[in-house]
Amino acid sequence: MTTHYSKRRSKIKRNRLMGFRSRMKTKSGRKIINNKRRRGQMLNAAKR
């Protein structure tokens, strides 16, 4: 019996949705980036 992973999205699709460049495209995304910078959080969280 093999295990099935329910959240098996590719890294490319994840980066396109939640990556740095997709965040920088929109005004609200830039707001998210700036809030993370203010908190001193790592920005490339999608690569983990």
pLDDT in tens, 14-46: 889 988 999 999 999 999 999 999 998 877 665
- 30 Cβ neighbours under 8 A, 6+ residues apart: 23, 24
User: Rounded to whole angstroms, how far apart are CA atoms 17 and 4?
Assistant: 23
User: Rounded to whole angstroms, how far apart are CA atoms 23 and 25?
Assistant: 5
Domain 11-47, classified CATH 1.10.287, yes or no: yes
Domain boundaries, the chain: 11-47
Q: What is the DSSP string of 3-43?
A: ---S----HHHHHHHHSHHHHHHSHHHHHHHHHHHHHT--S
Predicted local confidence at residue 26, as pLDDT: 96
4 vs 31, higher pLDDT: 31
Predicted local confidence at residue 30, as pLDDT: 95
Examine the pLDDT at 8 and tell me if it is beyond 90: no
Phi and psi at residue 29, to the nearest 5° = -65, -40
